[in-house]
Structure 1
Amino acid sequence: MSAARQGDHAALASLVRSLQRPVYGLAMRMLAHPADAEDATQEILIKIITHLGTLRDDRAAGGWALKVASRHLVGMRKRSRVEAMRMSFRDFAEDLETGLAHPHDDQTDSVMTDIAVEEIKIGCTLAMLTCLSRSLRIAYVLGDIFEMSDGEAAETLEISPAAYRQRLSRARQKVTRFVKTSCGVVSKNAACRCEKRLTAAQGSGRVTLGSPAFGLAAPTMDIPELRRQIRTLEEGRRAAALMRSNPSFPTIVGDLILECLN
């Protein structure tokens, strides 16, 4: 970090490449749209590069970068495309129950279909998070998805641990209540199933066979097996397990920034 502050290009490149994926992963979970997350990641990485001089303790570099990213994502004036839909949990539940249908016979044994079904699960869990306010969303992401301690998350958000715990509790209650009644991965009583959303998702353009929106080259999981595993957990742990089942989102935003700096 100190070498990067002093203008060492190799050190700066190493720093940016080490940060691009975690920053993008946080942005995806806050904004729920790849293009919007890429734009935000670029803005955050540029902020980090231009403010390296304000960091005095190299040991705190990771926490400092996360603080910069969190502050940016919570404070953005512009809403992402998914946020702009302004969905409540009730609206989202109604949307999930619309157009449920079994896949066509010619789609039941296809790698492209498996990727599309997984992308439906990913898109659904990301959109679900946008039903929370940004302050509750970031608390939930840091605590239940990134599994940070109350103290670490509170420091990142620059609030007291007590205030953080209150936010996390509120967010957790809302998400848990929703998945318990509306998510077929978590609850056998919920009508929605990822594979039953395929026809409607294709019709609305939310997924396109052969053109994955989240960069999946192949399925990373078996949805029925995920369903089985999550339902073996205690009820209070199921929502977080569902959210953590999403893959690490790939990005080259940092590399593009470095090209511009050359």
Structure 2
Amino acid sequence: MIHLDPDQVSAARQGDRAALASVAQSLQGPVFRLALRMLAHPADAEDATQEILIQIITHLGTIRDDRAAGGWALKVASRHLVGQRKRSRVEAMRMSFKDFADDLDQGLADPEDDPADAAITAIAIEEIKVGCTLAMLTCLSRTLRIAYVLGDIFEMSDSEAAEALEISATAYRQRLSRARQEVTRFVKTHCGIVAQTAACRCEKRLTAARASGRITLGAPAFPLTSPACDIRDLRRRIRTLEEGRRAAALMRSNPDFPTNVGDLILEAMK
């Protein structure tokens, strides 16, 4: 999941600032995407990414094998995200799957059709999908959440994920199985992208999301760009999959969120 050039790592350890910048740039994307899926809030994910990158950059000298730097960095990131005491803003809501389902049932309504704002509205609907899928994961404990993120979203093998989490492959498979069952059970019942019988639709949550201040048209909270995901097309594609594969496909449909946190850290370290 995190791939670092061993030559760049070696040069960075010897004080080459250009190589260090290259390492930081290679780290920032994967670490931020992992943090965002663990914490479900962009600002909290950026804070965690900064903390993780500082840990990695300041401890590069402890690496014995430059070729294993990527795996070591993932261990550092995973350990931090599972073990940090502070809860993200979404985690602090302490939602169970039942709480989350109750929230989804509130305020469903067909959105107003305004062709002039079609592109902006599409991004807002995607933001609802992104926010929903990320918040859903916080209904899992952190240990189950990171097992699911590494295995079903980032598609790491059991052995790779177990090594990153510093547990046995057997223990990892047990955590992944439990997390997968809980997520799959929920989306089969409540997510209209996955299940035709589910009442919730991303577009039907737009009016309530705007009224509550969760969504502001033209100012997405998540780093999203146009053109937005076509929710109706995504719905059709996911429903063609085998039922057991739909939840993971939904989670993997979120974009590769961009960030420049690594650049900011290097600037601050000058």
TM tier relative to shorter chain: over 0.9
Q: CA deviation at 1:108?
A: 8.5
Give the Cα separation in 2 of the matches to 1:20 and 1:194.
30
Q: Return 5+ residue gaps in structure 2 as ranges.
A: 1-8
- The match for 1:199 is 207
Q: CA deviation at 1:53?
A: 1.2
Q: CA deviation at 1:107?
A: 6.3
> What are the within-5 Å matches in structure 2 for residues 213-252 of structure 1?
213-252=221-260
TM-score by length of 2: 0.95
Change beyond 3 A, Cα 1:190–1:214: same
> What are the within-5 Å matches in structure 2 for residues 1-262 of structure 1?
1-106=9-114, 110-262=118-270
Give the Cα separation in 2 of the matches to 1:137 and 1:217.
27
Q: Return 5+ residue gaps in structure 1 as ranges.
A: none
State the secondary structure of the residue aligned to 1:36: helix
**Would the aligned equivalents of 2:119 and 2:228 in 1 still touch at CA under 8 Å?**
no
State the secondary structure of the residue aligned to 1:105: coil
Q: Using the aligned pairs only, state the percent identity.
A: 79
Q: How many residues get paired?
A: 262
> Per-residue CA shift, 1:43-66, capped at 9, x if unaligned?
000000111111111111111111
Across the aligned residues of Structure 1 and Structure 2, the Cα RMSD in angstroms comes to: 1.0
Give the Cα separation in 2 of the matches to 1:105 and 1:49.
49
Change beyond 3 A, Cα 1:107–1:209: farther
Give the Cα separation in 2 of the matches to 1:123 and 1:49.
30
> Per-residue CA shift, 1:182-214, capped at 9, x if unaligned?
000000010000000000111111110010111
> Per-residue CA shift, 1:210-250, capped at 9, x if unaligned?
10111212133210000000000000000000000000011
Give the Cα separation in 1 of the matches to 2:188 and 2:57.
42
> Per-residue CA shift, 1:151-185, capped at 9, x if unaligned?
00000000000000000000000000000000000
